[in-house]
Amino acid sequence: MNRFQKRTALRIAAVSVVLASIASPASWFVARELSEQSVVALATEESRGLIAQYKAADLSGPDAVQNATLAAQSISGGLFDIAEIYDSTGRKLGEAMTVEGAAVESYLPHHGKPGYTEASYDSFSLPGKRWVLRIFVPLRGSAATASGPITGYFEGVRVVPKWQEDQLFASSLAIALMVCLASLLCGAALYPVVVHLSADNERKAREVLESQAALIEALQRSEHELEHKVSQRTLELQQEQVRTKELLHNILPLEIAEELSATGSARPARHESVTILFTDFSGFTQAVSAMPADRMVGELNEIFAAFDDITDECGVEKIKTIGDAYMAAAGLPKACADHAQRCVRAGLRMLDYLDERNRTAAFKWSLRLGVHSGPVVAGVVGRRKYAYDIWGDTVNIASRMESAGEVGRVNISAYTYDLIREEFDCEYRGKVDAKGKGQIDMYFVKGARPR
């Protein structure tokens, strides 16, 4: 070996030792940090799932303490040894811990009222060579909104088990040794490159780079797959929530459905001025006696679906159907000044629709309509199969208006007439007998007055 070869070998060896002494501690630190982050990510995800399961993300309701306590008890003993849940003001609502957590609680550093906005963690050692991870997670009322208002805080403490600590230590040590060995091997490979085998060294360097690229690609692929699964699950949950809200809005008025979703109940309310619309088919019993059941249901479904569209367009709230009867109301749950005009307008459009349909349909239907205005009480009844209903003498009189009316005409009471007389032409019928109500002034609506 000549002087040049010796000098080159010494320089390469010195550079290799320096690189190994720098790279090994750095790789150790990075490997340990990544291991901690993976443990924290898994624990954070698991805890968020359990918090969402026990509805402890929204801590403003009456069951906040119970939900927080249940969530904390479920979280402790799994990935955490201490689980604490605070509301948005920093007041502790729920706490649970394992025996291991109780043993280290007194050694944990104290901190002030929670105020963080992003998830974070601390890693430190306690007396007895116990390695502890402390995780801080802000809670938001909706799991699908990462930037929503903070409703509370979750703090978890994990006493890393000896076996996991040994595993992380072994993994970090292996990576550090691999980096150190790679540095020394690279240094050793430089000598034959400089002296004799530059081509062989290039091949080896290329293999090392390819293996590193494959490792990075595999890690990135795993990360993308995990992100895709999380996004898919989140999207499925959002779609299910949308379907649930749509179903609830089809059953109940929008305001009642939102109150029920927010509080779990809907308070009954008295409405002083509303208008009730009743419809009923004349001769329905005779008509359906000779009609197949599926055809009868199809006919009613088609007509009532058209009535639903008409009431929506006129600002009238459908209440329910009873057999061949259709009941709707205006002025509730949200009050409005033109409730009587809305119901009369909807009734005239229903008659127009039925006349148009009878021109081409095989079965001809005749409809009576009755309208009355006054006070009612409205609310949701039952705990299953929710139903929004209204009660009061106004409902009974509206039903009498329908039964005392004539086919193809809108029959209204004097009170309703007084509310619409400026906008609709009406024909006074006189005092008409109404079952159980005596003589009542009634009017037929002839049509809207030209503007």
User: Between the ranges 218-222, 229-233, 327-331, where is the mean pLDDT highest?
Assistant: 327-331
Confidence of residue 137 (pLDDT cuts 50, 70, 90): confident
398, pLDDT greater than 90: yes
Among 134, 146, 156, 140, smallest CA distance to 47 is for 156
Tokens 């306690």 belong to 126
- Contact present, 416 and 394 (Cβ < 8 Å): no
Residue 204 lies in a domain: no
What DSSP designation does 150 have? E
Ordered DSSP codes for 48-86: HHHHHHTT-S---STTHHHHHHHHHHHHBTTTBSEEEEE
Lowest mean pLDDT among 10-24, 50-64, 420-434: 10-24
Please state the pTM of the whole predicted model: 0.47
**What's the whole-number mean pLDDT along residues 364-393?**
85
Please report, in angstroms and rounded to a whole number, the separation of the first and last CA atoms in the chain: 113
Domain final residue, candidates 124, 139, 165: 165
145, pLDDT greater than 80: no
Q: Please indicate, yes or no, whether residues 159 and 281 belong to a single structural domain of this protein.
A: no
Report the C-alpha gap between 199 and 183 in whole angstroms: 19
- Contact present, 280 and 403 (Cβ < 8 Å): yes
48, pLDDT greater than 80: no
- Contact present, 31 and 23 (Cβ < 8 Å): no
Domain final residue, candidates 141, 165, 189: 165
At 350 the pLDDT is 95
**What's the whole-number mean pLDDT along residues 362-391?**
85
At 426 the pLDDT is 94
- Contact present, 370 and 278 (Cβ < 8 Å): yes
Selected residue with higher pLDDT from 432 and 25: 432
Neighbours of 342 (CB within 10 A): 22
**What's the whole-number mean pLDDT along residues 60-83?**
81
Confidence of residue 144 (pLDDT cuts 50, 70, 90): very low
Across all residues in the chain, what is the average pLDDT? 80
At 134 the pLDDT is 83
- 89-113 CB burial, b ≥16 within 10 A, e <16: eeeebbbbbbebbeebeeebeeeee
Q: Which residues lie below 8 Å from residue 405, measured CB to CB, with a gap of 6+?
A: 368, 369, 370, 411, 442, 444
356, pLDDT greater than 70: yes
Domain final residue, candidates 165, 181, 196: 165
Residue 198 lies in a domain: no
**What's the whole-number mean pLDDT along residues 409-413?**
94
At 31 the pLDDT is 62
**What's the whole-number mean pLDDT along residues 162-190?**
68
320, pLDDT greater than 70: yes
Residue 350 lies in a domain: yes
Structural domain of 308? 267-448
Domain count, the chain: 2
At 231 the pLDDT is 84
81, pLDDT greater than 50: yes
Report the C-alpha gap between 423 and 226 in whole angstroms: 64
**What's the whole-number mean pLDDT along residues 390-398?**
91
23, pLDDT greater than 70: no
Report the C-alpha gap between 430 and 19 in whole angstroms: 108
At 103 the pLDDT is 81
- 144-169 CB burial, b ≥16 within 10 A, e <16: eeeeeeebbbbbbbbbbeeeeeeebe
Q: Please indicate, yes or no, whether residues 282 and 159 belong to a single structural domain of this protein.
A: no
Q: Which CATH number covers residue 298?
A: 3.30.70.1230
Q: Please indicate, yes or no, whether residues 284 and 144 belong to a single structural domain of this protein.
A: no
Report the C-alpha gap between 224 and 178 in whole angstroms: 26
C-alpha triplet 396, 400, 406: angle, nearest 5°: 155
Confidence of residue 340 (pLDDT cuts 50, 70, 90): very high
Residue 225 lies in a domain: no
Residue 56 lies in a domain: yes
Among 159, 124, 151, smallest CA distance to 43 is for 159
Residue 152 lies in a domain: yes
- Contact present, 378 and 271 (Cβ < 8 Å): yes
pLDDT, one tens digit per residue, over 259-316 is 666 666 667 789 999 999 999 998 887 777 778 888 888 889 999 999 999 999 999 9
Is the torsion defined by CA of 415, 418, 419, 420 positive or negative?
A: positive
pLDDT, one tens digit per residue, over 440-449 is 999 999 999 8
Residue 228 lies in a domain: no
Lowest mean pLDDT among 228-237, 255-264, 372-381, 427-436: 255-264
* Residues above pLDDT 90, as percent of the chain: 26
Neighbours of 62 (CB within 10 A): 9
H-helix segments, 84-197: 99-104, 162-195
* Residues above pLDDT 70, as percent of the chain: 74
Selected residue with higher pLDDT from 380 and 297: 297
Lowest mean pLDDT among 42-46, 312-316, 402-406, 409-413: 42-46
Q: Where are the extended beta strands (E) located within 323-413?
A: 325-330, 366-381, 387-391, 410-413
Residue 170 lies in a domain: no
Selected residue with higher pLDDT from 86 and 124: 86
